[in-house]
Amino acid sequence: MKLYSFKGGVHPADRKELSADKAIEPLPVPSQLDVLMSQHIGAVCEPAVEKKQEVKAGDVIGESPAFVSAKIHAPLDGTVKDIALRSHPVLGRVKAVVIDVAQGRQPLEPLEFSGDFDLDGVSGEQIIESIADAGIVGMGGAGFPASVKVTPNPKLPKHTLIVNACECEPYITCDYRLMLEHTPKLITGIMLLKKASGAQRAYIGLEANKPEAAKMITEYLDKKGLSEQIKLVMLETMYPQGGERQLINAVLGKPIKPGVIPPMEGLLVSNVATACAVTEAVVAKKPLTHRVVTVSGGGINSPANLYVPVGTQVSEIIEHCGGLKPETEKLILGGPMMGFSIAELNTPIIKTTGSVLALTKKETHGARSLHETNCLKCGRCLDVCPEGLNPTRIATAVKNGKLELAKDYYISACMECGSCSYVCPAKFEVSGYIKTGKALLSKMAKKG
C-alpha cells in the first residue's frame, strides 16, 4: 500500500501504546466546574447567568453577539457559585462561570449512535444552525467556531472536505478511540459536514500506525455504501502530518502556496472529534459540553481515555488516574510538541484539550536543560521544517532583536510545530525564539 506524506517532518517515539488500548470511560462527576468564557478563536463570551442561579446540563451559560464566536453550555446540573477569574491553559487568567455540581448523579456517557439517520431529512442550513446552537469548535487544537468555518461562501465555494484522523502528536489517543468505538458517529458527522459546506468530495487522512482504525472505517464505509463518497487515504506516520497544510499536501498531492489559507482553495479541514460532535448536535441536539481526553505519560500511574466535562480541573483527572509518580517533571495540556505546560493543577479542561500529559525528565529530553550553544550550521532544521523555512535564521534574527528581518524570512509562515528544536544538536531553542518573535510582532501590529 502506498503511503502519502509531505516534505520534512520528524518521527518522535509515539508512546501511544500507553493508552491506545484503554477504552473511553466517563470521569466520575466532579464537585466543581470552572467553565472558562474563552475557549475558541474569536470573540470571548460573556456570562449569561448570575451568581446563585441554578443551571441544567445544556443550558447556555456564555455567549457573544459576534459572528465569530461559540456558545458555552453548562456540562452538568448545578448552581452558579461564582463568576471569577480562573487559570486558562494559554491566556493566563480569564473570566469563568464556577458551578457547584449537583451530586448523586451518574456521569454522562458518550452518546451511543447506530448510524441510522436520514440525511435527506435535514438541510444544510439546519445542520449549520445545530452546530452553532451546540457551540461546536474545532477540537483538534485550533478552536475555530465550526458553524463559521462550515458556512458556504458564494465567493469561495468549498469543493473538498478533509477530515484529520492523523493524531500525529505522541501519546494522544482520544481520536483513535473515537474511531474504534464510535465509527458510525464519525462517518455520519463527515456526511453532515459535507452537506452543510457544499463540498463535493470528502477524504479521511489516517496515519499508517492505526491499522485497526483503518479496518473499522473501511468496513463501515463499505457496509453503508459510502466508500465512493468518503475516501480513506493512508498516510506515512510522520509529525506534523496532522498540520492543516501538511495534511492537504499529503491527501491531495499538492501543497498550498504560502499566504494562502484552505478556504481560498475551496478546502475545508475538520477533525475526528469535531465530526463526532456534529453528529451529536444534529441527531440529539446535544451541545459540546464534554470531550474525550487522553491522560498519559511516564509520570501518570494509570493512563486512560476519559470522557470529561468541560471545566473539570486537571487535579480531578489526575487523581482519578492514580496520581502522579515522583519522577514527574512537567504537566502538559495537549501534545508534547505543541502543547502548553501548566503550573497549576486547578487549570480546567476546555473544548480543545485533547490530552493531559505527565512527563518525566527522560521524556522531556532533560538534555535541553543544558545551556544552548551557537548554531552549528548542520542544516537539520531546514531538512525537517514542514513549511520549507530556514528556522535558525528566523530565530537568530529574533534573538538579536531584528524583528523586521525575521518578517523578511517569513516568520509568519511558521506553524510552531517544534520540529526544528527537536532535532537541534546545539540545544538552540529555535521554536521558542520564533514564538516570541511572532508574539512581539503581533503586539506591535495591535499598537499600530
Q: CA dihedral in degrees (26, 28, 31, 34; nearest 10)?
A: -20
- 381 marked as binding residue: yes
Inter-residue contact 153 to 90 (CB < 8 Å)? no
The answer to whether the annotation marks 417 as part of a ligand binding site is yes
DSSP assignments along 266-314, one per residue: TEEEEEHHHHHHHHHHHHH---S-EEEEEEESTTBSS-EEEEEETT-BH
CA dihedral sign of residues 399, 405, 407, 410:
negative
3-state secondary structure of 316: helix
Q: How far is CA 317 from CA 115, 122, 245, 346, 349, in A?
A: 31, 38, 33, 10, 10
Question: What span, in angstroms and rounded, lies between the C-alpha atoms of 27 and 242?
Answer: 28
User: Is 174 annotated in some ligand binding site?
Assistant: no
Query: What distance in Å separates the CA atoms of residue 226 and residue 220, rounded to the nearest whole number?
Result: 8
State the Cα–Cα distance between residues 273 and 258, nearest whole angstrom. 28
Residue 385 labelled as part of a binding site: yes
Q: CB 447: neighbour CB atoms within 10 A?
A: 6
168 is in an annotated binding site: no
SS3 content of the chain, % helix, strand, coil (to 5): 30, 20, 45
What are the grid coordinates assigned to 354, written together? 485533547
CA distance 194 to 163: 10
Report yes or no: 254 and 267 within 8 Å, Cβ to Cβ.
no
Q: How many residues does the chain have?
A: 448
Residue 378 in marked binding region:
yes
- 183 neighbors 28 (Cβ within 8 angstroms): no
Cα distances (angstroms) measured from residue 254 to each of 2, 34, 77 = 16, 43, 48
Binding-site residues for [4Fe-4S] cluster, please?
A: 375, 378, 381, 385, 414, 417, 420, 424
Binding-site residues, please?
A: 375, 378, 381, 385, 414, 417, 420, 424
